[in-house]
Structure 1
Amino acid sequence: MIVHKNNNTGEVVFEAFEASPTAPAVLETNHALQWSFPSRSVAISESEFSKDSFQDGLADFLEQASEVAFDQFAARAFKGDKMIVESRDTPSPALITEMLLSFLEATGRAFPVHAVHKRVRDDVVLGSSETPWRRSPYWLMLRVAVQRILLTSCSDDLSTSRLYFKFVMCIVFARLLADCQPTLHPEKTLMLQAKLCRRLAKLQTDMSEAPAVLQQIYEREFSKTRSFFESTLTKAKMAISALWDAHKRKVTRSIPLLPSRASNSDLVLKLQNSGRKLQNILNASVDPPERQSVLGTPSLAEGTVTQVNEFANRCSKLVVCASKAMSELDCSFSSPADKCVALSRAMMKYMDAVGTCHLDDAILMSQYLLNLFELWVAIDSEATTICPLLQDYHPAFVPEAIDMLCLVTRRDLERLRHAQRYISGRIKRCKNSYGTIFSDPHRTTAFPSSYLRNSEENSDLHLLGARIEAASAKSEESKRTELGRLMAKYEKLSAEMKQGVCSCTRMPDGSLNVSGCKRCWKARCRKRLKISVHEGFLPQNVSPKAAILLELKMPTYFAAYREATWRLKILGTKNTLKSDAAIVLANFGPLQLFGHKNGATSLTLASRKKSFLQTHYREQKLPKSEAEVLLPFGPAFTYYDKEYGIWADEYREVPWYHHLLGSWLPTSVSDPFADASLYMDDAEHPSSYEIAARQDACPRSMSSHEYTAYQRAISGVYRRWIVLVFELGSTNLNLSSQMTLKLFARLALQSGADQRPEILGKVHSIFHNVAFCEKLEHQIRLRLNALNAGRRDLVCMSILITLSLRLHHLCPSNFRPNVVELLRKIRILMSLWISQLREEVRSTDNGETAQKAASSAFWAAMICRQTFEVFLNSENQLQFGEEEALHFFRASIALSENLIVNLDDISPDLRRLLAQDMSRTYSMSDKIREWTLANSSALQTVINETWTDSGSSKPRSFSNWNFVDGGHWVQSRTTATGLAASQTVHYHALQGHLLID
């Protein structure tokens, strides 16, 4: 507020203006604030102003207005269902502009003045600072005051007063530059120098465009100040240049000149530390190494053998981990709670071990998901037995979410149908309006609220709530007492200040000397009085209170069940976005003494809103009322995964696991199983009308017949296998294409929708029809005969093996011998191809040809070994004879022999096929060990085929084969002959490595 006397009227004028904008006004403006000063002006007579009573009352009013915090005029913020004082925003000036000036206007009159218009650029930085403004309000107040004084002294001539104001600002910047240059950072000195130069340049421009009268004033003022400005800028420039020259001299590297000729001592190599070492080497005797036979487990130190071994070890660890987890289902426990906890921990350990290893691998990922759902069904069964209330809530899963799993055996299909039917039963028994256990805990039907209502009055949750409420009431009463004590001290200091007189003095440099002034000392003591707020320990609403109590005192079995359910749910969530929580329940100070740890659970309660104790509201300046100090519970807790950083309420849709299986269709063909809502609407997609309408969308890389065949194959349910058999016998699809292989593999192995009471479901129920099985076998035989008579097509062979294995597992038992014979013919042809490819690799002298043949042999070995999965859990107990052993050993050795490139360089499809092969063989490890010992003659025959440089026409003879150190390596020694010494042979029964000496 500016108070001055108007010489024309003889009145005293009061001008009030705001020096600080409000935060919303600054944040809403696009560029700069348009501001007029003053906002209001009032004049009273000089005689009235001269009265002592008036001046004393005005002084007391202004003193209290500047020193006492009036919360009625403070800015407000809404937090925790309460309007609280926002100290970081500008308070309302109504106490001055509305109250005081209205009182003065009633005494005098409203006084019109010429307003000063300014464009103010400001910004709000809401960080940890109590004053978030970028610009200083005090600096704005000084400039406006100078402009008002100049405008009044120039008889309200805006142009002249603006001219003088610009010169005053240039002088201020020049003085500041001259005074601060020795101590200011050079970068800031340059900035201040540039600012002054810009202002002087603008003055030059304004002078050239001004009227003649103003140009005279410009020239007069420039003549007075030009030398001052020039000398100031010159000194600043010289100082900056001196600093820059000194910096360059400091950082410039001194490079001495090289001598024109080297000294004689530099031309002699002395080797003072190496002489003894070199002499010992010269004196040492060199004896040829003795050849020793390798006994025990061979060393794998380098090459692709090591890479395959490391890769296989990772696969075997996952197989063992899965076996351990599933074995928990058959263990006995003392109580359902113990079983629930044990199964949950096994499931978590299994998920942590697998991680993303099976991502995009349809077969291994499907087996992984099947194991998880089987474990979850057992966990949920135990949890609902302990707490029947859980049956009122949706299980968070739908059976259709696992329709797309690619399972190989009938036994896996049975396990899948059991899990799906259990989930369907849970959904039928739940209440639709209750949601899941992860629904918003603020709802009255949320699980914590229902759990608390169903608990007895003397239960642990009710007792915990009573303890927390009592502690909160005690803390509130203590804070009320502290507020009373501080307010009494505040009032005492205020009374003492009124009785005292300020004795501060101004120093020559303009600073204020406060030493010895007791009144100001007491004012500073009063200003330092602060009180920390009390925040309620629990919310008033029953539902969020129940959620907090349950989280603090959660039963161990329920914590394990909820964590397992959440981890399985989030596994089926695509594109999760990470976001931070403002506060986690475990970090909320008032409740830390009442916490209860439930192990390493990732799901907890967290809030997007901060607690009052986390914000700048946690401490308040006096004076304050109880309502401003005793605050309610601030956070709004909901479920949050602290490990992945995701909120449960942002992922309410049902989990869908199709994206984990990898892509399998061309980009031009939309996947009907990717969208959960589209798949679950009980309609075929694409329909026949949609297929016909999309003919024009056929890409150039695909024929129209192939494009239509793709869509027709994925659209049917009951007719899927009919379409696949038809396309197998037609020429619409290119059976030598990798994309066609993915299509047939995915559609053949996909489990499909359930159909009670049978196990095969809607898609595979056609296998009950023997006529269809005969037709499928016939088409496979036709293709197999074509491959036998034609070129080696590994893609087409992979399709035939997939269909043959599917036929073997799903066909009626009386038809299975036909499929066994079909698989035998496939193994014979694959063994022939492997032998042919081995000869091609060894006979060619072209590196590219050899690498291509080796890659084909590597692929052929894996799909040949794939046919032996029928011996695992076979219902008919198929006999593994000498012929099968020859094929298996030949494929196993070829697998290791033909991996001649780095394992990281093979294609993703072959890498996934290798992972499936290793997982399958380690699952069959006991059977393969039996085969190896029982068919050692077949192994010796295959080794002699591979190891052909014996120098004799007779095959090698081997000693008895035995396993080494209980592992998977078997060893034997060859019989010495006149041309060859005895050698040690190691063979890895699972990985196919063949090592000699």
Structure 2
Amino acid sequence: MAQLQFRAAIEHESLEFVINHVFLPPQLPQNTEEYIGGGDNALLQLLHQSSDSYARNFSKNSVWSAVNKLVEQFCIFENNTSVSAHLFATAVKVLKDRDAIGIHIKSQNAGLILRRIENSLIFTSFEASPTSSAVTEAIEKLLISYPGPAIAVAWETVVDPTFLSRLSKFVEMMKRHQISAASGRGQKAGETLQEERESTHPMFVSELLTGILRGVGQEVDVERFMKRIGDEVLWDNATILPWRRSSLWLVVRVALWVVLGQDDYKFFMIFFMAQVLVLSTQRGVKADRLFVMNAKLARGVYKLRDQQIPDLILIDAERAVENTYKQLNDEWLQTHCSIRQDLWGSWWTDFSSGTSFMKDTVITMRNSREYVKGLRHINCSRPEREAFTPREVRRIDMMDV
């Protein structure tokens, strides 16, 4: 039902971007994509359509109103080259109880989540992309706690024109400019130098902004969770920036977890992955990538076997997996038949074009008669066997033992 309503007019290149960053297949690009902005927008577009479809078909929970607003704001902020102070201030003013705003501050490698709880606005920040060194040194996935520091500011303080204006301009500046003091560092020839391939330190958001907000608010305890982060640092040319998993995708997932909670978040991720799989099947994505996506979706459902997955979501995911498997199986059968036809077709063409079966199965050895006759007169005698007598000197005299 939901699959029929899921449509997304995105280019094939953008769809491949979504597959790489959502499913993380084994074969990935070896340098950063040139169309990151278009890929991130396509990812948000698919996510927005999925959240809207999920709310209409599978959940009557009022929290989905906040989720749709959250994803919609992500789309608005990312479609603009920078978050203007006016745009940010307008989004904050219209927040209602339990509503949230998520911002990916890419220039500072930071994620910022603002959520209104009754008469307070809670600010939480965290690192959007782990350091390259941490990713390459990790044997398995990284285990990171989210979100970071949390500061609650009274709502009447937040909507104060002076405070909101200063806060909006700060966010705009952080979103627009990359500060060299926070740039990644690396060791070269014994010296610590700026390293473009290393992640930026989020200090100006996670430390500076947090410190400023602590002066007008107070620290609060929020529900935190441990997340296993899968990321890669891939490049085949040292002069090009490496491929890294989308930091926007991590910020979005953390924001969704904060708003939805653990169970609903995981259920929605199953639904979203199923929708991307269905779209990929319709768009003719290569079979090897469909196989990996199918396997990861099936594994995601299996990991939630002890939880009460809504029946409609489970049926939706099973249908996506079964249809993909059927398509892969049909493609393999067609490939197998075409190979057999080509093989026998080429053999019959060669056979019928003058090849003689009798001539090719008779071997004539014209110079072998004398050699075969001589084999009858060869004298074969058994070699005489000699008794084995070791010549090595014993290291231990057995008489003295």
TM-score (norm 2): 0.54
Match of 2:265 in 1: 165
The code of the aligned residue for 1:67 comes to R
1:141 has 2:247 as partner: no
1:88 has 2:193 as partner: no
Deviation, 1:702, is: 8.4
Match of 1:238 in 2: 326
Aligned 1:937-956 pairs, distance under 5 A: none
Contact 2:131 2:198 in 1 (8 A): yes
Deviation, 1:223, is: 2.3
- Paired residue for 1:227, among 296, 299, 315? 315
1:252 has 2:352 as partner: no
Q: In 2, distance between residues paired with 1:140 and 1:28?
A: 20
Contact 1:193 1:233 in 2 (8 A): yes
Aligned 1:475-874 pairs, distance under 5 A: none
1:3 has 2:104 as partner: no
Match of 2:295 in 1: 194
Match of 1:12 in 2: 121
- Paired residue for 2:155, among 25, 39, 46? 46
Q: In 2, distance between residues paired with 1:49 and 1:129?
A: 45
1:118 has 2:218 as partner: no
Is the alpha carbon distance of 1:166 and 1:81 closer, same or farther for their aligned partners in structure 2, counting shifts above 3 Å? closer
1:150 has 2:251 as partner: no
Is the alpha carbon distance of 1:230 and 1:24 closer, same or farther for their aligned partners in structure 2, counting shifts above 3 Å? closer
Deviation, 1:99, is: 0.8
> Per-residue CA shift, 1:483-533, capped at 9, x if unaligned?
xxxxxxxxxxxxxxxxxxxxxxxxxxxxxxxxxxxxxxxxxxxxxxxxxxx
Contact 2:186 2:198 in 1 (8 A): no
Contact 1:43 1:110 in 2 (8 A): yes
Aligned 1:891-902 pairs, distance under 5 A: none
Give structure 2 stretches of 5+ with no counterpart: 1-111, 360-389, 396-401
The code of the aligned residue for 1:128 comes to A
Is the alpha carbon distance of 1:702 and 1:241 closer, same or farther for their aligned partners in structure 2, counting shifts above 3 Å? same
Q: In 1, distance between residues paired with 2:319 and 2:189?
A: 60
The code of the aligned residue for 2:228 comes to R
> Per-residue CA shift, 1:299-332, capped at 9, x if unaligned?
xxxxxxxxxxxxxxxxxxxxxxxxxxxxxxxxxx
Is the alpha carbon distance of 1:94 and 1:134 closer, same or farther for their aligned partners in structure 2, counting shifts above 3 Å? closer
Q: In 1, distance between residues paired with 2:276 and 2:258?
A: 23
Q: In 1, distance between residues paired with 2:252 and 2:391?
A: 74
The code of the aligned residue for 2:250 comes to L
Q: In 1, distance between residues paired with 2:248 and 2:338?
A: 41
Q: In 2, distance between residues paired with 1:49 and 1:59?
A: 11
Q: In 1, distance between residues paired with 2:322 and 2:190?
A: 61
Contact 1:74 1:90 in 2 (8 A): yes
1:179 has 2:267 as partner: no
Q: In 2, distance between residues paired with 1:41 and 1:130?
A: 36
> Per-residue CA shift, 1:645-694, capped at 9, x if unaligned?
xxxxxxxxxxxxxxxxxxxxxxxxxxxxxxxxxxxxxxxxxxxxxxxxxx
> Per-residue CA shift, 1:945-987, capped at 9, x if unaligned?
xxxxxxxxxxxxxxxxxxxxxxxxxxxxxxxxxxxxxxxxxxx
- Paired residue for 2:172, among 60, 63, 67? 63
The code of the aligned residue for 2:179 comes to F
Is the alpha carbon distance of 1:106 and 1:703 closer, same or farther for their aligned partners in structure 2, counting shifts above 3 Å? closer
Is the alpha carbon distance of 1:124 and 1:98 closer, same or farther for their aligned partners in structure 2, counting shifts above 3 Å? same
Higher relative contact order (CA 8 A, sep 6+): 2
SS of the residue corresponding to residue 20 of structure 1 reads: coil
Q: In 2, distance between residues paired with 1:14 and 1:31?
A: 31
1:73 has 2:182 as partner: yes
Is the alpha carbon distance of 1:200 and 1:76 closer, same or farther for their aligned partners in structure 2, counting shifts above 3 Å? closer
Q: In 1, distance between residues paired with 2:239 and 2:151?
A: 36
The code of the aligned residue for 2:279 comes to D
> Per-residue CA shift, 1:23-82, capped at 9, x if unaligned?
333344333322111111111111111123322322222222222221111122343565
Contact 1:45 1:108 in 2 (8 A): yes
Q: In 2, distance between residues paired with 1:27 and 1:225?
A: 36
Contact 1:41 1:110 in 2 (8 A): yes
Contact 1:122 1:133 in 2 (8 A): no
Deviation, 1:244, is: 1.6
Match of 1:30 in 2: 139
The code of the aligned residue for 1:93 comes to P
Q: In 1, distance between residues paired with 2:218 and 2:146?
A: 18
Contact 1:116 1:148 in 2 (8 A): no
Deviation, 1:132, is: 3.2
Q: RMSD of the TM alignment (CA)? A: 3.1
Match of 1:899 in 2: none
Q: Which moved more, 1:79-88 or 1:37-46?
A: 79-88
Contact 1:147 1:165 in 2 (8 A): yes
Is the alpha carbon distance of 1:101 and 1:130 closer, same or farther for their aligned partners in structure 2, counting shifts above 3 Å? farther
Is the alpha carbon distance of 1:176 and 1:72 closer, same or farther for their aligned partners in structure 2, counting shifts above 3 Å? same
Q: In 2, distance between residues paired with 1:235 and 1:31?
A: 32
Is the alpha carbon distance of 1:703 and 1:100 closer, same or farther for their aligned partners in structure 2, counting shifts above 3 Å? closer
Q: In 2, distance between residues paired with 1:703 and 1:36?
A: 69
Q: In 1, distance between residues paired with 2:113 and 2:141?
A: 25
SS of the residue corresponding to residue 127 of structure 2 reads: coil
Deviation, 1:106, is: 0.1
SS of the residue corresponding to residue 88 of structure 1 reads: coil
> Per-residue CA shift, 1:133-184, capped at 9, x if unaligned?
5433222222211111113xxxxxxxxxx22222111101100101111321
Deviation, 1:703, is: 11
Q: In 2, distance between residues paired with 1:79 and 1:231?
A: 53
Deviation, 1:251, is: 1.5
Give structure 1 stretches of 5+ with no counterpart: 152-161, 208-217, 270-698, 705-997
Q: In 1, distance between residues paired with 2:287 and 2:138?
A: 34
SS of the residue corresponding to residue 215 of structure 2 reads: helix
SS of the residue corresponding to residue 153 of structure 2 reads: strand
Is the alpha carbon distance of 1:31 and 1:235 closer, same or farther for their aligned partners in structure 2, counting shifts above 3 Å? closer
Contact 1:87 1:130 in 2 (8 A): no
Q: In 2, distance between residues paired with 1:66 and 1:172?
A: 28
Q: In 2, distance between residues paired with 1:85 and 1:229?
A: 46
Aligned 1:965-976 pairs, distance under 5 A: none
Query: Runs in 1 of length 4+ with deviation above 6 angstroms?
Result: none
Deviation, 1:91, is: 1.6
Deviation, 1:124, is: 3.2
SS of the residue corresponding to residue 253 of structure 1 reads: helix
The code of the aligned residue for 1:165 comes to Y
The code of the aligned residue for 2:233 comes to V
Match of 2:206 in 1: 97
Q: In 1, distance between residues paired with 2:319 and 2:176?
A: 45
Aligned residues: 243
Q: In 2, distance between residues paired with 1:51 and 1:252?
A: 76
Q: In 2, distance between residues paired with 1:71 and 1:114?
A: 33
- What is the percent sequence identity of the aligned residues? 25
TM-score (norm 1): 0.23
Deviation, 1:237, is: 2.1
Is the alpha carbon distance of 1:92 and 1:42 closer, same or farther for their aligned partners in structure 2, counting shifts above 3 Å? same
Deviation, 1:120, is: 1.9
Deviation, 1:189, is: 0.4
Deviation, 1:89, is: 0.8
Q: In 1, distance between residues paired with 2:159 and 2:240?
A: 40
Q: In 1, distance between residues paired with 2:179 and 2:144?
A: 26
Match of 1:372 in 2: none
Is the alpha carbon distance of 1:700 and 1:13 closer, same or farther for their aligned partners in structure 2, counting shifts above 3 Å? farther
